[in-house]
Amino acid sequence: MKLLRHGAPGAEKPGLLAADGTIRDLSGHVFDLSGAALDPDTLARLGAIDPATLPVVDAGTRLGPPVSGTGKFICIGLNFSDHAAESGMAVPPEPVIFMKATSAICGPDDDVIIPRGSEKTDWEVELGVVIGKTAKYVSEADALDYVAGYVVSHDVSERAFQAERAGQWTKGKSCDTFGPIGPWLVTRDEVPDPQNLGMWLKVNGEMMQNGSSKTMVYGVAFLVSYLSQFMSLHPGDVISTGTPPGVGLGMKPPRYLKAGDTVELGIEGLGTQKQTFVADI
């Protein structure tokens, strides 16, 4: 099942993508796709609905982030060995964890705002994991039972803010619109192996990243279990699991985004995003 939210920012309604490619409205069956709607029983109920019985949403309607009310947006740094190498950093002996402000979350095709003073805005396609039920001290063997599904996550970064402003990575990761997710939440039953998904990203039509989740250092099940040892993971929380090589920081010389650039990205089976980067005013 591919769940989504459609409509204007702040007024999105729940929906799903039908097999025929139409968007169908779920407002008559669930109030919103917040964490409370992501528990296994609710997902099973929604999955039993015949999409043909649901109202069709107009083609071209904006898609918002597929999950609302996310409490934590947790990111994993340097989780691809080849990306760590291009960044000039060693593969960490344990996952590097940082937070991205939830106010950065936006729709998959919304404009991304380059913040004032930015000279090093960069791109990162990532596999996002959405939690479906509270996880605390869970084992790696059981960890995927706590996952509602997966999303495409664009971990936009401002490298100078991240590494040159005397602080943790969070300040370079949390600018408004720096967290596009979607277009939809693909439920776990449709992703039998999250460690075998092709991932790609283009800037102005030029392929920059072309990798696979199979080269992640720490896989999804390990990460869910690992994080749950330090904090409870709640329904609707998003874990962005790291990026393959090909980011602007790793180029020689480095290459960064400017106003007017377009970025397209996608993950096998999870859909695609497309953003135009614009200057803050």
Instruction: Record the tokens describing residue 73, joined without a space.
Output: 């947006």
Into how many domains does the chain fold? 1
Q: Is residue 34 part of a domain?
A: no
Q: Is residue 46 part of a domain?
A: no
Mapping DSSP to helix (H, G, I), strand (E, B) and coil, where does residue 64 land? strand
- Mean of pLDDT values over 150-166: 93
The pLDDT value given to residue 18: 97
Q: Is residue 71 part of a domain?
A: yes
Distances (CA, A) of 111 to 38, 108, 178, 179, 261: 27, 9, 10, 11, 10
The predicted-structure confidence for 68-108, as pLDDT tens digits, reads as follows: 999 999 999 989 887 777 777 788 899 999 999 999 999 99
Which of 29, 39, 31, 15 has the alpha carbon at shortest distance from 234? 39
Output the domain CATH number for residue 163.
Answer: 3.90.850.10
Q: Is residue 211 part of a domain?
A: yes
Residue identified by tokens 């490298």 is 159
Burial of 166 (0-12, 13-18, 19+ CB in 10 A): exposed
Would you place residue 24 in the very low, low, confident or very high pLDDT band (cuts 50, 70, 90)? very high
Are 71 and 233 in contact by the 8 Å Cβ rule? The answer is: no
The predicted-structure confidence for 246-276, as pLDDT tens digits, reads as follows: 999 999 999 999 999 999 999 999 999 999 9
Which segments of the chain are extended strands (E)?
Answer: 2-6, 13-17, 23-25, 63-64, 73-77, 96-99, 105-106, 112-114, 121-122, 125-131, 147-154, 157-158, 179-180, 185-187, 198-203, 206-212, 238-240, 262-267, 271-279
The pLDDT value given to residue 190: 97
Give the C-alpha separation, 248 to 155, whole Å: 13
User: Given a cut of 80, is residue 46 above it in pLDDT?
Assistant: yes
Domain enclosing residue 185, as ranges: 63-279
